[in-house]
Amino acid sequence: KEKILADYKDVDLLRKFITEQGKMLPRRATGNCARHQRTLAMAIKRAREIGLLPYVAK
């Protein structure tokens, strides 16, 4: 299994973990453990704050 680090600047990677509407996918859909889901959620929220990812899709 490949180790993937969630970084707020890596928008292409973060887009794999959000839906078309812009919502974050749950743990059961991503297969992440709780710790990695938390880091992923923090990266997505940080990317949204600085404008790299939208809060909602148009």
Asked whether residue 52 carries a pLDDT value surpassing 70, the answer given is yes
Q: What is the pLDDT at residue 6?
A: 87
8-37 pLDDT, tens per residue?
999 999 999 999 999 999 999 999 999 999
Report the number of distinct structural domains present in the chain: 1
How far CA 19 is from CA of 1, 7, 56, in Å, comes to: 23, 18, 10
Residues 30/37, Cβ–Cβ less than 8 Å? yes
CATH number, position 37: 4.10.640.10
Structural domain including 33 reads 1-58
Q: Which residues pair with 24 in a beta bridge?
A: 18
